[in-house]
Amino acid sequence: MSGPVLQNNIVGIFDSGVGGLSVWRELIKVLPGNKMVYVSDNAYSPYGPRPQSEIVSRAVEISEFLIRNGAGIIVIACNTATAAAIDELRWRFDIPFVGMEPAVKPAAQSSKSKVIGVLATKGTFMGRLYNSTLRRFATGVRVVEKVGTGLVDVVESGRADTKEGRELLEKYIRPMIKKGADHIVLGCTHYPFLSEQISQIAGEGVTLVDPAPAVAKHTFEIMEKGGLVLKERINQLEQTKFFSTGSVENLKRVARTILPSLDEGFFEHMD
């Protein structure tokens, strides 16, 4: 592998595609001294409709790759992969894994209307984690769930501002608003890249809840406990090595909306 030398205090991050970059942008804020490796499994995106066993085997293969490349901790920056694979990954590998979970708890606690919307993939809604979170934290709150079919592709291909993207969002968001939701949980890491469009449809009084900052903070805490946080700030443009099993272009385009001058040399194809 060319590019920056990787060490053991490296943060591994993966998602089915570019969505995990919404978590990565929070991780580089709280861990400015640690190198990171990001894998977009674009060749297998979207994960949402895939059987659990297939997502587990993708997650295992990518985790092996990240560990080979020095990751001492892995952030599963994908709600669907967390729901399907986190137990297996923790069982197989001897490093910490941090997962995503739709932010139902903060949304339910701050809701005044006591109605919240959750937009996620089918795999996430079927997961044990999501359902136990609902039981624990959403009692007395009406939860309007919508599977965001098609939205991952819209983000992957940069079509957020097209008629098709807007129509899909209207179909999912309007019923939540109609039922009185004052919070919408972004239950897939791709959806923060649609925040602007979602807010336009939802209107002013509706808060979008993205769990990424809390996940980044949790990752920092685990690393700090393990003495893995490096204090000396690295140039952000050289901090992360990006890999994609499919389109490297999608990854570059979205990563550059966060750090515009990211260098070509830091993006590679993963076989």
Contact footprint for ligand DGL (CB under 6 A): 15-16, 19, 45-48, 78-80, 100, 121, 124, 152, 188-190
Q: Please, what is the end-to-end C-alpha distance for the chain in angstroms?
A: 12
Beta bridge partners of 183: 116, 207
Nearer to ligand DGL, 9 or 80 (CB): 80
Beta bridge partners of 115: 142
Nearest-approach distance from CB 7 to ligand DGL, in angstroms: 27
The values of phi and psi at residue 17, to 5°, are -170, -130
Residue type, 92: R
Nearest-approach distance from CB 79 to ligand DGL, in angstroms: 4
**Residues annotated as catalytic (active site), given as ranges:** 78, 188
Q: 23, 87, 51: which is closest to 219 by C-alpha?
A: 23
Nearer to ligand DGL, 70 or 148 (CB): 148
State the DSSP code for 162.
S
Q: Quick check: 189 and 121 in contact, CB under 8 A?
A: no
Nearest-approach distance from CB 206 to ligand DGL, in angstroms: 21
Q: 270, 250, 248, 252: which is closest to 261 by C-alpha?
A: 252
Nearer to ligand DGL, 9 or 82 (CB): 82
Nearest-approach distance from CB 220 to ligand DGL, in angstroms: 20
Q: 10, 68, 78, 90: which is closest to 42 by C-alpha?
A: 78
Residue 142: partners with Cβ closer than 8 Å, 6 or more residues away = 114, 115, 116, 179, 180
Nearer to ligand DGL, 34 or 189 (CB): 189
